[in-house]
């Protein structure tokens, strides 16, 4: 199991982006969370198999239908915490 940490920049708040990420992550059997940051970006922490995480990164670049993703910063590592599901944090 690996951990992905990503920050997504662009028009990614108020466009159903967090819901989009949650649905994609759950479909890939990943655990973790997604939440909005004060600077207008969105942070994603996901854990699971590397191939599923790589697929999620592809989906983050695509974004939701109303979003406009300009940049995705990705960092890989070992899981720091254990999650039970993939959630939206408020």
Active site residues: 18, 36
The answer for 80, left when phi > 0, alpha when psi is -120 to 50, beta otherwise, is alpha
Rg (alpha carbons) of the chain, rounded to whole number = 12
Q: Count other C-beta atoms under 10 Å from residue 74's C-beta.
A: 16
Burial string for 12-32 (b: 16+ CB within 10 Å, else e) reads bbebebbebbbebbeebebbb
């Amino acid at each position: 199991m690996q951990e992905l940490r990503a920050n997504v920049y662009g028009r990614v708040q108020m466009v159903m982006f967090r819901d989009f990420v949650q649905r994609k992550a759950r479909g890939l059997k990943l655990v973790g969370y997604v939440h909005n940051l004060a600077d207008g970006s969105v942070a994603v922490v996901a854990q699971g198999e590397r191939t599923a995480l790589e697929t999620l990164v592809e989906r983050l670049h695509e974004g939701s239908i109303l979003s406009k993703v300009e940049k995705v910063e990705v960092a890989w590592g070992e899981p720091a915490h254990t999650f039970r599901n993939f959630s939206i944090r408020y």
